[in-house]
């Protein structure tokens, strides 16, 4: 339910008024549904593969106390360990861009003692992620691929 829509139900947890639900309450509610409702369309990616919510967070007020308010409307809850449970030690507020780097299918590259997604390395270099993937596909060593500055076409539409 979107902010401002009328709701019915129990208001004692502090996440709703008689007429609205907070964004944090909506995130909490959706998290619970993904993990506990087999009819949820995303259940197979959460509850269906064993992702649980700590008992502490059965109470919305405790969840809000642990997580705090969302820093911005672009932030949603993220598990640091994608295979871990929803619990205070494993969760934080993150943007979609940050979350995209923490998906199970994301390719991570280790170079110069740092681990980042292909997209993050490409952003840092100022090139398209496809250009970085091409470098790697051609057999270029990872540290070379993430340290060579862009040349010519193929990075953010500009030329040098």
31 burial type by CB count under 10 A (0-12 exposed, 13-18 middle, 19+ buried) = buried
> Residue 152: what pLDDT?
60
b/e 44-81 (16+ beta carbons within 10 angstroms → b): eebbeeebebbeebeebeebbeebeeeeeeebbbbbee
Kindly report, residue by residue over 4-36, the tens digit of the pLDDT. 444 445 444 555 554 468 999 999 999 999 999
Of residues 160 and 113, the one with the higher pLDDT is 113
* pTM (predicted TM-score): 0.60
Sign of CA dihedral 140, 141, 142, 143: negative
């Amino acid at each position: 339910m979107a902010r401002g829509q009328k709701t019915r139900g129990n208001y004692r947890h502090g996440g709703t008024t008689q007429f609205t639900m907070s964004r944090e309450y909506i995130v909490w509610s959706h998290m619970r549904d993904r993990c506990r409702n087999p009819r949820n369309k995303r259940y197979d990616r959460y509850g269906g593969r064993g992702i649980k919510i700590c008992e502490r967070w059965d109470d919305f007020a405790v969840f809000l106390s642990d997580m705090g308010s969302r820093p911005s409307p672009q932030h949603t809850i993220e598990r640091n360990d994608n295979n871990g449970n929803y619990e205070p030690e494993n969760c934080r507020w993150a943007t979609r861009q940050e979350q995209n780097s923490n998906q199970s299918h994301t390719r991570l590259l280790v170079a110069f003692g740092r681990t980042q997604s292909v997209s993050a390395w490409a952003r840092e270099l100022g090139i398209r992620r496809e250009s970085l993937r091409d470098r790697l596909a051609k057999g270029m060593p990872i540290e070379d691929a993430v340290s060579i500055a862009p040349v010519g076409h193929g990075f953010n539409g500009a030329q040098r």
